[in-house]
Structure formats: C-alpha cells, structure tokens
Amino acid sequence: MLSYFGNSLLILNVFITLLILYFSSSFLTSNVKFDYKIVKRLILSQLSITVVSFFTLLFAFIITDLSIISVYSYSHESKPIFYKIAGTWGNHEGSLMLWVLILVVFSFLFYLFNNQNLRFRNLTLFFQNILILGFSIFLLVNSNPFEMIQPTPVEGLGLNPILQDPALAIHPPLLYLGFVGSSIYFSAAMASLISGYRGKNFASSIKSWIIFSWAFQTLGIIVGSIWAYYELGWGGFWFWDPVENASLMPWFAMAALAHSVIILERRESLYSWVIILCLLTFILSVTGTFLVRSGILNSVHTFASDSDRGIYILSFLCIMILSSFLIFLKKFPISDKPIENSNKGIFILTNNWFMVFYLITVLIGTIYPIFTEVFFETKISVGPPYYNLLIIPVLIPFLVLMAIGPETTWNKNSFLKFKKLIAVIISAVFINLFLYLVLKSFSVLTNLIVISSLFLIIYTLIDLLDYFKKGSSYKLPRTTAHLGFGLLILFIGLNHNLSEEYDFNLKVGEIKILDNYEIDFNNLELQDEINYKSLVGKFNIKTLNTNKIRSLNPEIRIYSKPETITYEASIKTNLLHDYFLTMSNIGDGDIYNIKFQRKPLMMWIWISAFLISLGGILRLFNKT
Amino acid sequence: MKNLFFTNIILLIFFSSLDANEVKINENEIFKNLRCLVCQGQSVAESNSDFAQTLKLVVRDKINEGNSQKEIYEFLAEKYGAWILYDPIFDGKNSILWLSPYIFLILGGLLLFFFILRRN
C-alpha cells in the first residue's frame, strides 16, 4: 500500500520537475519579462510531494512495513523507535530520498528569497531542477526506496548495529545539508554565466549558502569523527580513508569559496575564480557520493555499494562536468575586472592558494591508487603517512598567515603592526618551550606546528578581546572560526605526540604492568540485552605514580538482527585525558587481545572543531 | 629579545636531534602503517581479525631479530604486495603521487606572485 503510494509520488514528482524545466527553460534564450505564475505553483507542489514522499518512507520505517524492501533490509520490529526513524536514511535508498528532499527544499528557499533578477532566479531554478531530475530518476529507477517485496517477509533483517548510534543518526542529515547546499551555488553559478548577472549582487545571493553549507559540512564531519572514535574502536578519529576524504575535499573548496566570495562582493573582481570554485564544490560533492556508493575504493565506511549505481552516478557526473565546463568556456568573462590589489585581497588569495593545495593533495592521494591499478596493474595504499608528510609542513606558514591576514585592510597602503607581531611570536615560542620541557620532547616539525598554532591562537585571542572591548560583533564569526582552527591543530598535534598506546594479549584474571600502568583483567561477564548478547570485560587500570584506579568495561557484542559481532570500546573521559580500552577475542581461546590507550585532550579537539563550525553559524546571523 | 628567540630555536633543534639518535622501533607505528588485508580499510593496529593478530606476531618477531622498520616493510611488501603499506614507497611509479602536490603548490605560488607583481 505505502509502496504504491510512495512510487506514485516519485513518478508524479518527475513529471512536475519536467514541467518546471519546461517553463524555466524559456529564460535560457529570450529575455522573458514576467514570471510565470504557474512556476510558483509547480514549485510548491514539488515541495509538498517530496516532503510527503519522504514522510511516507519515514512512516513505513516507523510501522516497519515489511512489504517494502528497504524496510525489510535495514529495519526490524524490535528496534527502538529512534533507530527506526534514523534507519530511514541509514541506507542507500533512504539517504538518496533525503538527498532529493534537501535538493528540493533548498531550490524552493532560493526561489523564495531571490527576487532581484528575474532571469537569474529562473535560470538557477532551471539548473537546480536538472539536478533534481537527475537524482529523482536515479531514485526511481536504480535506488527505489519504495520497492516492493513479494511475498511479504515475516521479519526484517535489522540495521547494521554499528550504525545504531545517536551520532550516526544525525551524521547523514548534517553532511547532506553541506553537500546538497553546494548544489545551490552550482546552479546559481551556471545561471550567472548565462544571464550575465554578475558581481556584487550575485556574490551576495550565494554568500549565505556558501557559509551555511560549509558550517554544516564541518558539523557533519565532526559528528562522523566522534562516531568513528568511539564506535569503530581503535581510538583514532581521522583515518584519511577515501570516504572521509570525499567529505573533506568539498570542505576545502567551500572554505576557499567562503573567503574569495568576499572579494567578489566587496571589489567585484575575481568573478571567474569564484565561478570555478562554485562549480567545483558541487562536482566534488557528487564525486564523493560516487566514490562512496560505487565501492570503487576500499573503505571502512562502505556500507552500500553497487556497481550499477556507480555507473549511473559516474555518467551523471560526467555530464555535469562537461556541460558546466562548456558553458564556462563559452561565457567566459573576457573583460574581468583587474586583479585584486589590496593587501586583504592578496591574503584572501593566499588562503585560496593553500586551500587548493590541500584539496589537490587529498584528491591525488585518494584517486592515485585507481591509476596505479589501471596503468601499472599494481595496487597501492595511500594512508596517513602520505597526508601527514605532505600537509603538515605546509600548515606552518598557513597558520601564521591565517593570523596576520585578517589584520590587513582593503586599503593598499596598510602595514602590519610589527610590535604586536614580535610579541606574539615570542610568547608562542616560550609557551612551546614550556610544553616541550614539561610534557615530552617532540620533533622539530611538531615544535614548529605548536609554535605556529599558538601564534594563531594568541593573535586571534588579542583580536577577540579587542572586539569585546569595543562591542563590535562584526569580526566575532571570523575570529571564532580561526581560533577554533588554531586550537584544533594545536590539540591534534599534542594529542598525536603525547598519546600512549599499548597492544597486548591477556587472559581473565591476569595482571599486566606497562610503564606507568597496572592493568588488571578482573572478570568476564555474560549479559543478555534485548537485541544482543554481550561479553563484558571488567578491567581495573591503576596509574602507578598516583595510585588512582579506574575501572573500564569494554564489550564484545553479538547482535542477532543481523548477526554481527561488534567491539565496544570503554572510554573514561576527563578534561585532560581519555582512557580508552578495547578487547577482542583471539580465535576461540581464552586469550584476549587488549588495546589500551591514554589519549590527551580529546574533548578539546571536539570543542575546537565545533568552534570552527560555530564561526560559520554566527556569520549567518551576523550579516553586514 | 631577538637573541633570546634564536637561542630558543637552537635549543629546540638540539633537543630534538638528541631524540633522533635514540634508535627505538615503535611497533604500534608499524602496525598502523600496515593494511589488514582481509578487512575493509582497517590497519593492522585497528583490526580485530585473525590476520591482524598473526601479522602482529610476524612484525614482533622481525623486530626481535633486529630488523629495521624499513626492512620489515620491504619484507612484507614483497610477500603481500605494496597494497599492504599505507606509506607508499617513493619510486618511479609513485613519483607523481609524491611530487605533484608540491608542483601544484609551487605553480600556485608563482601565479600568485605574478598577480602581485602585476598590480604595481
């Protein structure tokens, strides 16, 4: 029943999208001087139909309608209601439904709020609806969330237990607000090229969308990292895994765009560069989807891969890249305004230079293994050592420039305040020396990273204090985000250098002494929960120099729907450290593999990352 | 003030060079750099599989035999293929991988430099 209803809605939606395309395409050639009234009605019906079809799917998941394949495959009656809801987008079909929903909602909002230029507005609608059409057909033909199953099964297969998690329930919607948010400025850029609606007004119309998508992309990445940290069970939070890289690449493009759009808005120069970034960001977002969903790359996050889907997304991607590239070449603005020449402009361009470098490094690292496989027939892996080695040294000048950049003005003849500069450098160096001598000695590179991030932190804090005194809130968003970035790098650097990790095997009842810790594997308990059985290890960890004992209880869980074994880390968090313990069985014997870690400053890593995103959100409320 | 600053830098370099002399192989670092071949995108350090447990034993044996980190990587790459190393070897085939990001960085820098020159 719900299946028929949902399918009819999806088909209806494709027709309405075609109608919107038909009406808005008239703006491609002639200069139509009036808005078609019907367009507004069509958009409204498109919005209502998509919302209703999304909620139909949600409803099917809530009542566990097993006649629908996606419900059968990813849900189960016994699941808590929260995970039934989250299960809606915890699979390929449902998450694509969410993707289309956000596309439609954003398209509607953009149409609603941009009424300055008729042609620009309708052309943006046109391109946005090409995207909607592409993804709707994909949804209908290849990834139908409402597909029926005959005969109706008795019970569902259940959601992968590692996806049954609050962080992972909100991770896809957050990330999609970022990914799909970039579709708006992709369409707007195409519309701008064709309609000639350029410069300041164009910049203003996309600026909020850029900041919005960037802030939510950041949030999505953070929540995903937090989930990986406690759920995947090895104490890391960033693995330079292809799927993670897929979310990071658009993030760099968005961050570059968030900076250069300021130049376009203030000085009306750099138009073509902004357009390139607009097009690139959404292309990278779809590329990310392709990499994740096609299964072309080996990743820990590949939960739904299928080569047919890969081919569809790849073809769609090629059409997108080719057509946007052709339109760009054809409409390339020959008489762009002279290059930005203020100091601030130069610094913003420098930001873009670095952002593009990070982007290219991650891109090459991610796709290079595909090349070697095709051309040399050798499989290689590109992991953390590659990215760390290439990116970390470049971070040093980047952090310093990030501190002094905002200090410059649009005036060509502004100078830096050298006294402040020297004072900040010296304090950064001294704090670093203190950390170095008190905590632990670390490498030259780490010293430089710590110094430069401290430089950024102190510099930004001075700025922040200044604005609080003056009561002007204009620079609050920027300083918050920059401060967050400086803190993030500092804490990651310290965490990386001061983490203690031990990997060993132990039997129940045994005690192991490692440097400063005494690890007592006290007991093993079997517990029966509603939807899984659990083997709980009772550990007491004594820190020898303080005699403090912490009890940690890692678990091995055996889920029944679907049958899966997961390893739950036990984490004790305080302001300074996380104590992290996992255990796993070795074969069927009574020896367990134990991984114990003491990771400093974990909580502060999350807080600083949230500050970055908060900066973006503050900017949305703080328009000037 | 300036002197103090430079003394500090020199001190730092001195301290860090002391560390470099201390030859100690960190087994966790090696585990992290090896791909668990039977897993989906996990390293040996991260994985709970039997393969990872076995590989850890192999690495520990090799360390005890007095092999260097590099020798262990070479041994494993020969046995299982380069796919097992997360830190790709720098050779002819991989030179594009290692060098091209910096080539782009330099090109970008030159571009920016000419922009600045042209403004005057």
By C-alpha distance, the chain A residue nearest B4 is: A426
Sort out which chain A residues have CB atoms less than 8 A from B112's CB and list them. Answer: 346, 349-350, 353
Helix or strand (DSSP H, E) at A121: helix A118-137
**Could you give phi then psi for residue A340, rounded to 5 degrees?**
-55, 130
Same domain, B52 and B101: no
Nearest CA to A585 out of A577, A593, A596, A575 is that of: A593
Cβ-based burial of A335 (10 A; exposed 0-12, middle 13-18, buried ≥19): exposed
Sort out which chain B residues have CB atoms less than 8 A from A339's CB and list them. Answer: 115, 118-119
Which residues fall within 8 angstroms of residue A546, CB to CB, at 6 or more apart?
A: none
* Bond from prior residue into A554 cis (ω within 30 degrees of 0): no
Sort out which chain B residues have CB atoms less than 8 A from A384's CB and list them. Answer: 32-33, 86
Task: Looking at A471-601, list the stretches that DSSP marks H as alpha helix, in order from N- to C-terminal side.
Answer: 476-498
Whether the pLDDT of residue A536 is over 80: the answer is yes
Q: What is the pLDDT of residue A301?
A: 59
Same domain, B28 and B83: yes
Q: Which residues pair with A524 in a beta bridge?
A: A537
By C-alpha distance, the chain A residue nearest B38 is: A298
Same domain, B78 and B104: no
**Average pLDDT in the A260-284 region?**
92
pLDDT in tens, A306-315: 667 778 888 8
Same domain, B117 and B72: no
Question: CA-to-CA distance for A316 and B60, rounded, in angstroms?
Answer: 49
Number of structural domains, chain B?
2
Cβ-based burial of B118 (10 A; exposed 0-12, middle 13-18, buried ≥19): exposed
B19 in any annotated domain: no
Q: What is the pLDDT of residue A364?
A: 95
Same domain, B60 and B97: no
Question: CA-to-CA distance for A369 and A381, rounded, in angstroms?
Answer: 6
**Structural domain containing residue B113:** 90-120
Decide the pairing of beta strands A591-600 and A577-585: antiparallel
Sort out which chain A residues have CB atoms less than 8 A from B100's CB and list them. Answer: 360, 364
Among A444, A451, A497, A597, most B C-beta atoms within 10 A, so best to mutate, is: A444
B120 in any annotated domain: yes
Give the three-class secondary structure for A583. Answer: strand
pLDDT in tens, A8-50: 999 999 999 999 999 998 888 877 777 778 899 999 999 999 9
Q: What is the ipTM of this complex?
A: 0.85
B119 in any annotated domain: yes
**Average pLDDT in the A490-498 region?**
92
Question: CA-to-CA distance for A423 and A197, rounded, in angstroms?
Answer: 47
Whether the pLDDT of residue A413 is over 70: the answer is no
Burial A463-497 (b: 16+ CB within 10 A, else e): bbeeeeeeeeeebbbbbbbbbbbbbbbbbbbbbeb
B29 in any annotated domain: yes
Whether the pLDDT of residue A607 is over 80: the answer is yes
pLDDT in tens, A289-304: 777 776 676 665 555 5
Same domain, B32 and B79: yes
pLDDT in tens, B2-42: 555 566 655 555 555 444 444 456 888 899 999 988 887 78
B46 in any annotated domain: yes
pLDDT in tens, A202-258: 999 999 999 999 999 999 999 999 998 988 767 788 989 888 999 999 999 999 999
By C-alpha distance, the chain A residue nearest B46 is: A234
Cβ-based burial of B85 (10 A; exposed 0-12, middle 13-18, buried ≥19): buried
User: Which residue do the tokens 């973006």 mark?
Assistant: A616
Provide the percentage of residues in chain A whose pLDDT is more than 90.
55
Q: What is the pLDDT of residue B17?
A: 46
B6 in any annotated domain: no
Asked if B115's CB is within 8 angstroms of A298's CB, the reply is no
Same domain, B56 and B68: yes
B98 in any annotated domain: yes
Same domain, B30 and B84: yes
The CATH number covering residue B35 comes to 1.10.8.640
Indicate if the alpha-carbon torsion angle A138, A140, A142, A143 is positive or negative.
positive
Among B21, B87, B118, most A C-beta atoms within 10 A, so best to mutate, is: B87
Same domain, B76 and B98: no
Cα of B56 to nearest chain A Cα, Å: 10
**Chains A, B: CB pairs < 8 Å:** 142
Sort out which chain A residues have CB atoms less than 8 A from B97's CB and list them. Answer: 364-365, 368, 382, 386
Whether the pLDDT of residue A477 is over 80: the answer is yes
- Pick the range with the lowest mean pLDDT from A161-170, A204-213, A564-573, A606-615: A161-170
Residue among B94, B97, B101 whose CB faces A357 most closely: B101
Whether the pLDDT of residue A334 is over 60: the answer is yes
B1 in any annotated domain: no
Average pLDDT score over chain A: 88
pLDDT in tens, A128-170: 999 999 999 999 998 899 998 888 888 888 777 777 788 888 9
Which two tokens mark A110?
Answer: 């953009």
Whether the pLDDT of residue A343 is over 70: the answer is yes
Cα A478 to chain centroid distance, Å, stands at 20
Same domain, B82 and B102: no
Nearest CA to A103 out of A125, A119, A121 is that of: A125
CA angle, corner A13, sides to A12 and A14, nearest 5? 90
Same domain, B44 and B96: no
CA angle, corner A191, sides to A190 and A195, nearest 5? 125
Whether the pLDDT of residue A275 is over 60: the answer is yes
Same domain, B51 and B84: yes
